[in-house]
Structure 1
Amino acid sequence: MRGEILSYDPTTGEGLISGDDLQRYAFTSAAAGLEPGRRVDFVVQDDQALSLMVLRDGPLAPAVYAPEPDLGLWGYFVRCITDLYIEGHGRARRKEYWSFALFHFLILMLAFMPIIGLAVLDAEAGYDMEAWGVAWICIVALVYFALIVPYVCVTIRRFHDVGLTGWLILIGLVPYVGGLFTFIVSLLPSQPDANVHGAPPKGSRALQTRQDRPA
């Protein structure tokens, strides 16, 4: 199989390849000429890339990324809670993160509104709404906890998008400072080039401007 090197760390020999089958494969190699943007031929075994061979040498042509279709605010939110529900790998652009944040807030606000209505009925109208109130609070709690996982994942991918490790999400546990740090990161622009977490989220994969030729 053939593909393109997305990232490579010469100190550890570890890297990531975007295969022509649109799948990503990790590899470990100390071969010469391995650097982001290189086309390579490799063998896939247990989702790992083995026996890498560089297909071209000389200066690299600038990588051009095909534009990713804009899913819109609702589309990004739906993808976060379906296909990427437990996906912490990869990158998330600012629009994806804020799309999730917007609908996450709206859903929780709508979920809490009936609790206020039940409280009014219980206090003003004299109805015994305690049982209904407890039941609805349980439903709201389920919705809240169901959205925690995709929130954590999209935040990690947002950190990846600006070149940070996802473990920095733990700073969010620090009162005030953590929330401010996460907010600042959420506003930063995407790194324009591929990093260790993958290609820029605004493009699917690099389009080659030269044909492969043996190294």
Structure 2
Amino acid sequence: MLKKISVALCGLAMIAGSLSAQAEGDKSKVAERLTAAGQVISEIMATPDKAIPGGILAGASCVVVIPSYKKGAFVVGAQYGQGVATCRTPSGKWSAPVCVQLAGGSFGFQIGGQATDLVLVAMNQQGLQDMLKNKFKLGADAAAAAGPVGRNAQAGTDWKLNAEFLSYSRSKGLFAGINLDGTVLSQNQDDTRALYGTDIGFDQILGGKQVTPVEARPFVRTVAKYFVAARNK
């Protein structure tokens, strides 16, 4: 009897150890993604004449960064990427981040593949409210437009009046607005749980009610460096 109990306890210990190691592995992957997201912002903003215009930086409600968004196609196109998002809180500071994923598909005769960095900028309170949902489709549930680029970019009035999100892509050094209509942005609850160690509502995190984890602080500081500085000019 004692032997059976001992074996059972050992089994439970092994399972607990395995789950703990998996959780640490998942958190490590999220930490790497946060680092990559911060690098994307820094590298894009390193060339102001080809970066996100100051007016957009100043008015942003939320920022989503998806490093190495995968897009491949062989007759039927498929797109998928994982990233992180932070939103401006009522105090003007940027919130702790949440993990998100962007997925979509397209049909057509196309062959090829590429990895692209994506940046989505929520431009108003409606965009912020969309971020708090479980998922929404760009172009359908939330109006989106390809964002203007450059220090002196003169964007049309359509995005100012209607677009909830402005979208950008960077591939092979080229940074430009992109049309992401039809793709779905949704919460990645598993990775968010891995980052925080427990289930926390997206509204609580993006609303500024959650302390930013150590792993996420460099990313949040990078966003604040450019987006908050622009608002103060």
TM class by smaller structure: under 0.3
Provide the TM-score with structure 2 as the length reference.
0.24
Larger radius of gyration: 1
